Amino acid sequence: MATTKLSAPTSHWIGGVRPLNLRSSLRPEIRQVAATIRSGPYTEELVHTAKSIASPGRGILAIDESNATCGKRLSSIGLENTEANRQAYRQLLLTTPGLGEYISGAILFEETLYQSTTYGEKFVDCLRREKIVPGIKVDKGLVPLPGSNNESWCQGLDGLASRCAEYYKQGARFAKWRTVVSIPCGPSALAVKEAAWGLARYAAIAQDNGLVPIVEPEILLDGDHAIERTLEVAENVWAEVFFYLAQNSVVFEGILLKPSMVTPGAEHKEKASPETIAKYTLTMLKRRVPPAVPGIMFLSGGQSEVEATLNLNAMNQSTNPWHVSFSYARALQNTVLKTWQGQPENVEAAQKALLIRAKANSVAQLGRYSSQGEAEEAKKGMFQKGYTY
Ligand code: 13P
């Protein structure tokens, strides 16, 4: 990996987030960091984008459900899976006034990245107005992994460089690639290696095209195993992921992680407290994740909205080497959907519900959350066996 001074960046920056006079306006610590790592046309921008997403009291809203999964969300409130209904739902979420106070990034599905509101404003511009960085899901989903123990692998590397370049032009500044590891299925050494290698290739390609890669090897909640077993698997998975990230010369200062929390399997006889989950999760992260990584943005994985917030809060009771925050889909959307019910007259109430959840997680990111007064609906778990995204 060459260590050189950087040439002037060629890219333009995200509206609202990026100042115009780039080099002089970068915070000195970002300039210093960028000057000591692998040079590339986007290095400074990657470091800046990752830092701005990992900013205090903010996290990521994940609404990058594939059309099929978005259809499941819509059918849960009796709506058909049409482009117009997906647009209406995403419009509700992305035009919530004041969202940028708690949300620093939003992960979109390709359809949404190119879509506009019903009144003609691009969704990307709605986000920029709130100083929220637009992101894009770039993987092509999971398929069976031959030769494994009924496990899967994640597709999407073919043509990824040109897709990332197009997404950048469209306004995206970060990307997400979700692959999964199943504890009840092994995991086999083959499945772990494949997951780690795929994530590393994707991360290198995303960075080469100006997108901060979110690295997400989701360890599924499925199974009746104890928390110690999850810790063992998570340590193994993250060791391989970082081994291959380094082999692929990925700039650690310009990535974000999206891990599962270390919990017992969903069917284990005992539930763990937020304090226990925080202890195991932070132990795993401290053993495996270099402090050069700016942000750890957890997925919710089927936990209830309140559980996900309590666990995040517990992890922020101590000072951590990285920004420890959220990148939730289900744990930010459940109450919103139930409140909306597809009715235009409920949009305002549903947006308020989103702000309540976003604010709760923002407060949890700062370690100051209490679950007092939370609604019963927000305490309902959302785990589903064999969930696909
Ligand atoms: P959940 O928070 O629903 O587990 O979302 C997973 C995900 O990868 C969203 O981008």
Say yes or no: CB of residue 389 within 6 Å of ligand 1: yes
Q: Which residue has the higher pLDDT, 32 or 21?
A: 32
Catalytic residue IDs: 216, 258
Say yes or no: CB of residue 332 within 6 Å of ligand 1: no
pTM here? 0.91
Confidence of residue 389 (pLDDT cuts 50, 70, 90): low
Domain ranges within the chain, ordered by starting residue: 29-369
Mean pLDDT of 229-246: 98
Say yes or no: CB of residue 357 within 6 Å of ligand 1: no
Give pLDDT, residue 373.
86
Measured from the Cα of 300, ligand 1's closest atom is 2
Give pLDDT, residue 9.
42
**303-361 confidence digits (pLDDT tens):** 999 999 999 999 999 999 999 999 999 999 999 999 999 999 999 999 999 999 999 99
Say yes or no: CB of residue 64 within 6 Å of ligand 1: yes
- Residue 105 CA to residue 45 CA, distance in Å, equals 15
**247-266 confidence digits (pLDDT tens):** 999 999 999 999 999 999 99
Question: In the Cβ-directed half-sphere of 356, how many Cα atoms lie within 13 Å?
Answer: 19
Measured from the Cα of 330, ligand 1's closest atom is 3
Give pLDDT, residue 45.
97
For residue 1, pLDDT over 50 is answered with: no
Mutate to test the pocket of ligand 1, among 330, 333, 384 (most ligand atoms within 8 A of CB): 330
Q: Yes or no: say if 51 and 16 are a contact pair by the CB < 8 Å rule.
A: no
Cα(331) to centroid of ligand 1, in Å?
A: 8
The whole-chain average pLDDT of the chain stands at 92
Say yes or no: CB of residue 73 within 6 Å of ligand 1: no
Cα(57) to centroid of ligand 1, in Å?
A: 19
Give pLDDT, residue 117.
98
**143-201 confidence digits (pLDDT tens):** 999 999 999 999 999 999 999 999 999 999 999 999 999 999 999 999 999 999 999 99
Give pLDDT, residue 34.
67
Give pLDDT, residue 96.
98
**Options 3.20.20.70, 3.50.50.60, 1.10.3720.10, 2.40.160.100; CATH of 29-369:** 3.20.20.70
Measured from the Cα of 327, ligand 1's closest atom is 2
Cα(98) to centroid of ligand 1, in Å?
A: 22
Give pLDDT, residue 8.
37
Measured from the Cα of 299, ligand 1's closest atom is 2
Confidence of residue 127 (pLDDT cuts 50, 70, 90): very high
- In the chain, pLDDT over 70 holds for what percent of residues? 90
Mean pLDDT of 76-98: 97
Cα(299) to centroid of ligand 1, in Å?
A: 5
Q: Which helix H or strand E contains 175, and what residues bound it?
A: strand 174-181
Mean pLDDT of 101-120: 98
Say yes or no: CB of residue 272 within 6 Å of ligand 1: no
